A and B are shown apart, each in its own frame.
Chain A
Amino acid sequence: MTAAVIATQGLVKRFGHLRAVDGIDLDVRAGDVYGFLGANGSGKTTTVRMLLGLVLPTSGEISLLGERMPKAARKVLPRVGALIESPAAYGHLSGRANLTLLDAAGPGGSRRTRRARVGEVLEQVGLAGVGRRPVKAYSLGMRQRLGLAGALLRRPELLVLDDPTNGLDPQGIHEVRDLLLELHRGGTTVFLSSHLLAEVEQLCSRVGVLDRGRLVLQDDLATLTAPTGATVVETPDPLRVRAALDGRVLSLDATRAVVRGADPAEVNAALVAAGVPVTGLALQRPTLEEVVLAAAGGSADRVDGTEGRARR
């Protein structure tokens, strides 16, 4: 078992009467690329802010890289890189000046290596060529890259990212994804908070799903999308599948039938024997979307409305 990088116990944040985060037990381990999924207003950002000591929890405990937060913030946070919601920088300064100031503003960044490190991360995120242009002349994508560069400045052990591909063009999204995977290969644990299922599905090894302040699901992506033990049969004549395999058919539509049985070869053999035309065969795997919707729907037993919960 690898060490926990982020561990929370019974984490609760109340804003007045509203429980924005309602008893979360996060478990992120070293080497994970953890996808933290949730709709807007589900408490994602509040949770991320609590992890980083920006918002103080009402109750519960947070351990970050083995240290108690927010007590040990000064010790732990230099080892963490973060991109929280949108990137932010001083518009009148260049990207390089912004990063230099940010690096100088806290502990854990040697003054001697500052220039080199700033140059390196700008290179890494593809901003090395922008020169002295002030940040206010940057496009949204460039700002996003600059924010990412700021998060990478001190070679963090843990990256906490909130919608890192927001505002990027497809090319940029691809680059960021590659960058994250490369960092991950280098040993960085990534905590990726997102509402984009596809992004999480492509990047992450573990997934946590937040719904209205509760963690309704937390598991390895592989486990969640493991085969269900059914086979999907594509056929122009689904009704004949039912006739051939009566009792094993789970569902039917115009071109497909889902049949119980974890071995497509066996299903195929039975259908072919019955003379049913088969155009496609596959093991049934749930998509992440289906998993998330099922989990989130299952916890929709709360009384309080969702309007008041819309905290960013």
Chain B
Amino acid sequence: MIAVELAKMFRRPRTWVTIALLNALPVLVAALLALTDLAPRPGEGPPFLSAVLTNGTLYPLAALAIVLPLFLPIAVALIAGDAVAGEAQAGTLRYLLVRPAGRTRLLVAKLISVVAFVLVTVLVVAAVGYLVGQVFFDVQPISGARATGGTALSGTSLTPAQITGRTVLAIGYVTASMLGVAAFALFFSTLTDSPLAAMLGALAVLIASSLLFTLDAASSIAPYLPTRYWLAFVDFFRDPILWRDVVRGLGLQAVYVAVLLGAAWANFTTKDVTS
């Protein structure tokens, strides 16, 4: 079942078009940065972007920071929103269910394929970011006698191995951060037969969350907003690593996934499939 869902997703041209489009922005930003040599002013622009001019090794992170606020969630909402509603709209859902693919199994398989999509997407963005960083920017030697790795946010030097390890952690964290969006879109996807509605619903939640996060009046609910800890992947590059927000971010995403998946399950397994 899971293999079937993965095959369906990754054999679909749209999946790869989405991933390709997602990579267009970081590449464009890198090209512009390299051409103009104009780094964003401190405190503005995505994290790490000003640092890549001196060290291209950090570009995978800058690329992730560029797509994280909007592009990545849109892509995730698109794929996750399509998961059930897309099958319903195409009419294939009824054939899957009559096959019979159990409804709970189908839901879990859909979630896993969405997670796989997020992981692949984030990895591709990071890989493209790495290549782009090597091509466009000065790169500090990553191995050999003069290997310096890079500088942590705290001003300490990180070895290349540390940089690599922390980048892997950050990639994992960004993937986990997207699970909340995926769960929202998947839940909405079981409510409606329109994949577009499911995607827009999830995006509406995100936009509301981002808006409330900037609002002082909403500070009491801020810790529960799904986007609250998204930028915590930056914390892996502090020294010592600041785990607080990372742990909270993971916990929060886990709660959202559990609740929304529970709601999706309760709704989908007792729903009349009339599409």
Name A residues whose Cβ lies closer than 8 Å to a Cβ of B: 46, 49, 52-56, 73-74, 77-78, 80, 82, 84-93, 97, 101-102, 104-107, 147, 150, 311-312
Contact = CB atoms under 8 A, between A and B. Distances in A.
Given A54-B272, A84-B95, A90-B92, A104 B3 contact: yes
A193 to B, nearest CB: 14
Contacts of B248: none
A106 B100 contact: yes
A55 B272 contact: yes
Tier of interface size on chain B: 20 to 34
A146 B91 CA distance: 14
Contacts of B12: 90, 92
8 contacts: A49-B274, A54-B272, A82-B98, A88-B92, A104-B1, A106-B99, A106-B100, A107-B100
B101 interface: yes
Contacts of A85: 91, 94
B270 A77 contact: no
Given A49-B274, A90-B8, A54 B97 contact: yes
Given A53-B97, A92-B11, A150-B95, 17 more contacts: A49-B273, A54-B274, A55-B272, A55-B273, A80-B98, A82-B98, A84-B95, A87-B91, A88-B90, A88-B94, A90-B12, A92-B13, A101-B7, A105-B4, A106-B101, A311-B274, A312-B274
A147 B90 CA distance: 13
Given A54-B272, A311-B274, A78 B100 contact: yes
Task: Give the secondary structure class of A's interface.
Answer: loop
B1 A105 contact: yes
B251 interface: no
B272 A56 contact: yes
Contacts of B13: 92
A74 B274 contact: no
B102 interface: yes
A82 B91 CA distance: 13
B104 to A, nearest CB: 11
Given A55-B272, A56-B270, A92-B11, A105 B99 contact: yes
A311 B270 CA distance: 19
Contacts of A147: 95
A78 B98 CA distance: 8
Nearest to B3: A104
Interface string B73-92: 00000000000000000111
B19 to A, nearest CB: 16
Contact of B94 (A56, A84, A91, A311): A84
B90 A90 contact: yes
A102 B91 CA distance: 13
A76 B36 CA distance: 67
Given A104-B4, A311-B274, A89 B102 contact: no
A84 B8 CA distance: 22
Greatest chain B CB density within 10 A among A55, A105, A106 is at A105
B242 interface: no
B96 A53 contact: no
A90 B86 CA distance: 10
Interface string B1-42: 101100110011100000000000000000000000000000
A105 B94 CA distance: 12
A311 B272 CA distance: 13
Contacts of B90: 88, 90-91
Interface string B160-174: 000000000000000
A76 to B, nearest CB: 8
B100 A84 contact: no
A84 B98 contact: yes
Contact of A101 (B4, B91, B97, B102): B4
A137 to B, nearest CB: 14
Nearest to A109: B99
A102 B95 CA distance: 8
Contacts of B100: 53, 73-74, 77-78, 106-107
Given A85-B91, A92-B11, A104-B3, A74 B98 contact: no
A311 B274 CA distance: 9
Contacts of A97: 11
B96 A105 contact: yes
A88 B90 CA distance: 6
Interface in B231-275: 270, 272-274
A77 B102 CA distance: 11
Nearest to A150: B95
